[in-house]
């Protein structure tokens, strides 16, 4: 079993607390409005498919991804593989939600991971879809070499046992983050590892009562840098990226509730419209560091005046 260095916790504990409060808010508000829930799920599914595929090099835009998935349109100038990647991810998502809706005693297992991978590579790499690799691989730009193929089955089982047993009593977000990194390190498949891990990671979050954490393609460099840092035992960057991705979707769901317009505004606009104790650059830094309630759309950070004032009040209490 692995031992995870948890020294990053102090920097992120307030963010963890905030996310668990938001989970409780969503839980207490159930059942959520059906139409709103369906619209959010559809929109996030398209975003999830677009961003996860884009991270791996797919060139379909968000609008083109929506056209392929919802309108069945073939986009001129885009490869057949890119179309399959979009449709396959959608099928994998449907399967994932079926697993997430299983009974509360559901336990992650190797078969479900292989099934999700089979959807990801369906009609693309049929010989490898849903099958563990049987030879060595190298990852361009990574600071490690994945383990020998003969070790992969045992390592995958060990990782699943780690998640199920949770020997260090990690919280749900930490557990999903560690799973994400260790899965990438094991690199159990020849292809499709990234898409698969971002799906299975979210299965863990959904089963824990959270919304999905969608890593944005605009954070691709930051994402790979965070994975490389985790290879050296530093989980702060990857966990920070995870909580920021999760907070974004949590806020989207909470914003759909009656009388819960959270009032998130782009930081530049907020600074112009409100009297605030800090400037735009410092507020943006707080958002990037996860110190205030904020989330990212594309390359722009959004937050609220209340989040900034709460940060200042907490800081003054600690003096």
Contact present, 154 and 183 (Cβ < 8 Å): no
- Set 83, 89, 117, 187: catalytic member: 187
Is residue 180 part of the annotated active site? The answer reads no
- What is the distance between the alpha carbons of residues 262 and 259, in angstroms, rounded to a whole number? 9
Contact present, 45 and 93 (Cβ < 8 Å): yes
The set of residues, in sequence order, having a beta carbon less than 8 Å from that of 184 and lying 6+ positions away, is 193, 194, 197, 227
DSSP state at residue 218: G
Contact present, 308 and 276 (Cβ < 8 Å): yes
DSSP per-residue string spanning 147-181: PPGGGHHHHHHHHHHHHHH-TT---HHHHHHHHHH
Nearest to 196 by CA among 276, 278, 105, 131: 131
Q: Which residues are catalytic?
A: 187
């Amino acid at each position: 079993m692995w031992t995870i260095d948890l020294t990053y916790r102090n920097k992120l504990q307030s963010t963890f607390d905030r996310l668990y409060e938001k989970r409780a808010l969503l839980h207490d508000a159930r059942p959520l409005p059906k139409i709103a829930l369906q619209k959010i799920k559809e929109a996030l599914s398209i975003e999830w498919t677009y961003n996860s595929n884009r991270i791996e090099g797919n060139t379909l835009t968000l609008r083109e991804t929506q056209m392929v998935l919802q309108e069945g349109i073939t986009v001129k100038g885009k490869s057949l593989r890119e179309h399959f990647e979009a449709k396959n991810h959608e099928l994998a998502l449907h399967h994932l939600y079926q697993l997430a809706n299983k009974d509360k005693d559901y336990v992650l297992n190797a078969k479900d991971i292989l099934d999700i991978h089979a959807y990801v590579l369906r009609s693309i790499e049929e010989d490898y879809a849903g099958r563990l690799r049987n030879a060595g691989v190298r990852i361009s730009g990574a600071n490690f070499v994945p383990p020998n193929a003969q070790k992969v089955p045992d390592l995958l089982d060990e990782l699943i046992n780690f998640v199920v047993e949770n020997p260090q009593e990690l919280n749900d977000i930490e557990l999903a983050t560690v799973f994400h990194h260790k899965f990438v390190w094991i690199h159990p498949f020849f292809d499709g590892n990234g898409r698969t891990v971002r799906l299975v990671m979210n299965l863990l979050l959904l089963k824990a009562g959270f919304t999905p954490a969608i890593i944005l393609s605009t954070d691709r460099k930051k994402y790979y840098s965070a994975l490389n840092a985790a290879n050296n035992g530093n989980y702060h960057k990857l966990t920070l990226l995870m909580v920021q991705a999760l907070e974004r979707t949590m806020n989207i769901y909470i914003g759909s509730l009656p009388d819960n317009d959270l009032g998130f505004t782009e930081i530049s606009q907020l600074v112009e419209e409100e009297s605030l104790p800090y400037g735009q650059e410092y507020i943006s830094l707080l958002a990037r560091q996860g110190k205030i309630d904020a989330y990212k759309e594309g390359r722009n950070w959004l937050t609220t005046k209340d989040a900034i004032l709460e940060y200042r009040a907490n800081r003054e209490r600690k003096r």
